[in-house]
A and B are shown apart, each in its own frame.
Chain A
């Protein structure tokens, strides 16, 4: 047949998956374990800081992986590996639940909670905004504004979510106050661009607020250089009267970027507990069994290169709310914040 060669070509190109792609990775406990371990080995940025020998982790946990073991058993093994890292940016999402380390910020810890905010704050509902992000009002019997930022999350990776621009309206309404308390105790982070959007409304000038470096290769020491992060004035006007930022162990990730930025301004005091300690810029990966996991790819530090990973940012005025305080509905951290503002008026 005259056109047999064209037919052969057609068949070759049609069967392209086998010709051009290696065999698909099969869903076995060994493959899932190996991909999980290898991805952390290649991408995870915190092994040296946390003094973890990942090769040893392999030697300990690989023998526990058996052909034909149940998914539940695999979940137990991988969960233990996740917990070893003590990193709030590491999660394993599975049908069996989420494996993550929450040892640093138990939600029940009193300092991590807003203790009966209605006891201290008259909320202002005059501005339509997304109240799952920001609420604001006045401290009762004081000429002090109160803003609680509950999250910095958004779907705009690397770019500001315009929902956060509501801060301009809020600051206009609080402009006559003697000072403002910003509460990020319950803020677990999100997108650092949103943190900069808010912090920029309190900036007096462009300032260096953080340094960071990323894992950029598979070797243990394959890191980028240290890069500088700057905060600068944003919005039409900036609030330059006394400001207090309330922090807790729950203040984490982008919320810590916010605290680092605010800490550089001369009119800002950080009050509360040490922050959670992690600005890992996590990425997601997936396994052949459909599970998803998240791991940190970045190391963040204060401008003096104090690495906050696992340590957190120390407040200027350390205060904790004890269980006894909590039982009596006393918010020691907020009360200290009010005291600091009043002392600066």
Chain B
């Protein structure tokens, strides 16, 4: 297990033990902040880069902030990780090493309004929108001294659905499921036919292109379990899934990208 992850978990457990207070949960509105880490797996297939699938796992950093009132769920989160992606042919001890140095930043902000509630099962449905910024860079090494930088960078406006489930036997626990999908996105593209070549050499400077589902199919889901030990402090277990399929060059070359992560974190209510 990653050393950073172990230290983080130990610190959180220590804090939890000290902060557990046997008080009832705070009434709405609430502000909840969280810091999580865990295991994150990336899988990438980029036709520009390689015919092969590249993957890797890492402990990411995930920071979130939420505002909750009876009708509204507002959320802001930042996800970051950096790792080496490897394939079936990776051999870093050798001149022909084949791997990608991958850096990933995902920043999103969502606002959802209540539209239906099932009072008997304490389940509330929200809908709204999300603004999302993805910065992804992959420095792909074909040999020890030959590398090209690839990446997928985009900002999107998503439709967002949020389902929140409270438990009848506990006021301190809840589960939620979040689903989002972009309606339109601005992709930072360079329209390259291969690692070097564009239709126009000035395209080396890249450009912003507005795309919809015709060029970008993207899904992001989040399933989370939250439990408060006392009035202010709790923990969150979360599974996040992020998939996109992007046309990089006309309908010939595509990139496919999956992030799958299991997170555990400390949350604080203010």
Contact = CB atoms under 8 A, between A and B. Distances in A.
Interface of A: 3, 6, 9-10, 13-14, 16-17, 20-21, 24-25, 27, 35, 43, 93-95, 157-158, 214-218, 224, 227, 281-292, 297-298
A20 B252 CA distance: 18
B196 A17 contact: no
A227 to B, nearest CB: 6
A298 B197 contact: yes
Nearest to B55: A17
Given A14-B260, A21-B43, A43-B194, A288 B88 contact: yes
B96 A290 contact: yes
A283 B194 contact: yes
A288 B197 CA distance: 23
A21 B204 contact: no
A96 B43 CA distance: 31
B71 interface: no
7 contacts: A10-B239, A13-B239, A20-B43, A24-B52, A286-B142, A292-B96, A297-B194
A242 B196 CA distance: 36
Interface string B192-209: 011111111100100000
Given A13-B239, A281-B197, A297-B193, 14 more contacts: A10-B223, A16-B43, A21-B45, A35-B51, A93-B95, A95-B96, A216-B193, A217-B252, A283-B148, A283-B195, A284-B142, A292-B142, A292-B143, A298-B197
B196 A297 contact: yes
Nearest to A291: B96
B109 interface: no
A298 B194 CA distance: 11
B42 to A, nearest CB: 11
A27 B204 CA distance: 34
A93 B141 CA distance: 14
A288 B51 contact: yes
A105 B248 CA distance: 38
Contact of B175 (A6, A227, A287): A6
Contact of A13 (B143, B221, B256): B221
Interface in B26-52: 43, 45, 50-52
B91 interface: yes
Contact of A214 (B51, B52, B193, B221): B193
Contacts of B201: 227
Contacts of B43: 16-17, 20-21
Contact of B197 (A94, A157, A214): A214
B177 A6 contact: yes
Given A6-B177, A16-B243, A24 B196 contact: no
Contact of A218 (B143, B148, B177, B252): B252
Question: Looking at B51, B55, B260, which has the most chain A CB atoms within 10 Å of its CB?
Answer: B51
**Nearest 5 A/B pairs, CB to CB:** A290-B89, A13-B241, A214-B197, A284-B142, A283-B195
Given A10-B223, A13-B241, A286-B142, A217 B193 contact: yes
Contact of A21 (B148, B177, B193, B256): B256
B210 interface: no
Interface in B103-145: 142-143
Given A13-B241, A16-B243, A291-B96, A21 B196 contact: no
Nearest to B177: A6
Contacts of B204: 158
Contacts of B256: 20-21
B198 A214 contact: yes
A282 B89 CA distance: 22
Contacts of B51: 25, 35, 286-288
A9 B193 contact: no
Nearest to B219: A13
Contacts of B199: 214, 216, 224
Question: Looking at A214, A227, A287, A291, which has the most chain B CB atoms within 10 Å of its CB?
Answer: A214
Given A284-B148, A286-B52, A288-B89, A9 B221 contact: yes
Nearest to A222: B193
A286 B98 contact: yes
A214 B193 CA distance: 9
A283 B197 contact: yes
B76 interface: no
Contact of A281 (B55, B175, B196): B196
Nearest to A153: B145
A254 to B, nearest CB: 13
Interface in B168-208: 175, 177, 193-201, 204
Contacts of A290: 89, 91, 96, 98
Question: Looking at A16, A25, A94, A286, which has the most chain B CB atoms within 10 Å of its CB?
Answer: A286
